[in-house]
Structure 1
């Protein structure tokens, strides 16, 4: 396993850090994709300490910046020919509507569009692996989600639940569409609901607003620990039980049936085309 390489986004805290530690324990070389140099370095030291592995590396990547994502992918491809596992874990919930540096509403911009571009820029290294795996951290919130094609960036009638649920449905639609487009290759794509996890997802990424609230929530008995929340992501990244399975949705390491609106292929294809346009995907980058 020591020659297998994994990338985990949002790896500096919560489930991302827990996933990093467990993959490193299992012998993977793990690249922690983090937005903040300071928080990333602190998390790197913690990951090395807890895993006992020195094969962990920090690379900066701001999923709210298309330029940063492109730079990350370029640097990764210069250093590595192969990518065995990509865990698209990073996520935000925004109490108030805010935009990324590219003018995207932050939840759809970071939770979906950032990971959409990152994944497509890493398809060749994933194909070069014996069995490349893409693991998308979605949420049961997808059930309440709708793609608001008339206003996907929610300029009107914004609320956090509407925004987050749309972005989590986006993760599922992306998973199924990408799995279909990669049919016949060695790359699999699956998504998961981690459960109710007490993490920093509800914390404003710029101001830190919500830190104390989420710290309190994480101590409530019905919240899972980040380690518990990461189990299904690690399972999809590593288990021989899911070799060859693709386009599926999991909870507690078991496949779950998706609701009808999440298996609408026409909607998924329309959303894929919109996503390509939003991130400015070049013809030679399209699948």
Structure 2
């Protein structure tokens, strides 16, 4: 029975996360909406239960950027539920127009705290509950923004993730967002290896364009506002990507798939063979390859060790 299947979705009160919560609830799953803003989320929770007639939609407070909040959430979840079948790391931090370098409660750059280290820490704390499921799956929401790493000059600022150069080095919320999502992709590969013996599958989905909310567009600079409004005319609704979340996390197609990046067409994306000339253009404008930066052993080991160090302190 689907009502016995338990799924956690972070950032489930808006956008793709809300659409995914609605999809899983419609299909009869027990849905745990893990959200930071309970005031907004309560209304969404009630709307989902009313729409789907599924009363097994739980709302639990979680700020993914805070390790203390993650500890509290995971302890409360484990006390309430016998296991976890699906964990979807959908919540992300990208504050359009933000010019200030911000730190999390643990003094980690906010994009990385929310998009990288938070999901990593949460998965590790819930691994024992995931292992109790007959088919445990973890999904990371990635982005086409990682294509910026096809530029050989692009690097993650490992030396500036704790405010080391705050105020001294140019800050871009878009660069930090892309860097943090590249780091999340690398952790996807590493976590898949780490938990393979427990049967836990860990994959990432590359989010393509979706319709942006009016609130999101309002935060943008004038040129990008116009561009976003224009794109929204053809951008698909979040429901389409939510269907992809559901398919990857429940279908037999991906039952044995782990350590992969999957695109919006539900195809497995491969590392690029070449990043020069015409092939590079195909890399940038296509959706079948990701930058070799993501599988560089030195890069992967660096983000893995840093993740362990930050979350074990």
Once the 2 structures are TM-superposed, how far is the Cα of residue 255 of structure 1 from its aligned partner?
Answer: 1.0
CA contact (8 A) 1:85 1:126 kept: yes
Query: Which residue does the alignment assign to 1:181?
Result: 194
**1:221 and 1:163 mapped to 2: Cα distance?**
28
Equivalent-residue separation in structure 2 for 1:54 and 1:159 (angstroms): 42
Does 1:162 find its partner at 2:178?
no
**Structure with bigger gyration radius:** 2
Pair 1:147-2:163 in alignment:
no
Task: Please name the residue that 1:239 is paired with.
Answer: 251
Mapped to 1, the partners of 2:124 and 2:53 lie a distance apart of: 32
- Aligned residue for 1:197? 210
Distance apart, 1:178 and its partner CA: 0.1
226-235 vs 7-16, which moves further: 226-235
Residue segments in structure 2 that go unaligned for 5+ positions in a row:
150-154, 271-289
Deviation string, structure 1 residues 118-149 (Cα, Å, up to 9, x no partner): 11110000011001000000011112243222
Which of 100, 103, 109 is the matching residue for 1:99?
103
Q: TM (normalized to structure 1)? A: 0.89
- Equivalent residue number for residue 273 of structure 1: 305
Quote the residue 2:55 is aligned against. 54
Taking structure 1 as reference, are residues 197 and 265 closer, same or farther at Cα in structure 2, changes over 3 Å only?
same
Who is 1:5 aligned against?
6
More helix by share: 2
Residues 90/218 of structure 1: CA separation in 2 closer, same or farther (3 Å cut): farther
Please give the alpha-carbon distance, in whole angstroms, between the structure 2 residues aligned to 1:201 and 1:105: 26
Task: Supply the distance in 2 between the matched residues of 1:177 and 1:200 (Cα, whole angstroms).
Answer: 34
Deviation, 1:201, is: 11
2: distance between equivalents of 1:196 and 1:140?
A: 9
5+ residue gaps, structure 1: 282-287
Runs of 4+ in 1 over 3 A off after TM superposition: 199-204, 216-219
**Aligned equivalents of 1:166 and 1:64: distance in 2?**
16
Question: In 1, distance between residues paired with 2:259 and 2:184?
Answer: 11
Deviates most, 89-98 or 3-12: 89-98
1:126 to 130, 151, 155: 130
CA contact (8 A) 1:8 1:31 kept: yes
Tell whether 2:225 aligns with 1:224: no
Cα offset, 1:62, TM superposition? 0.7
Q: Secondary structure at the match of 1:256?
A: strand
Residue 75 of structure 2: aligned partner: 74
Per the alignment, residue 16 of structure 1 pairs with 17
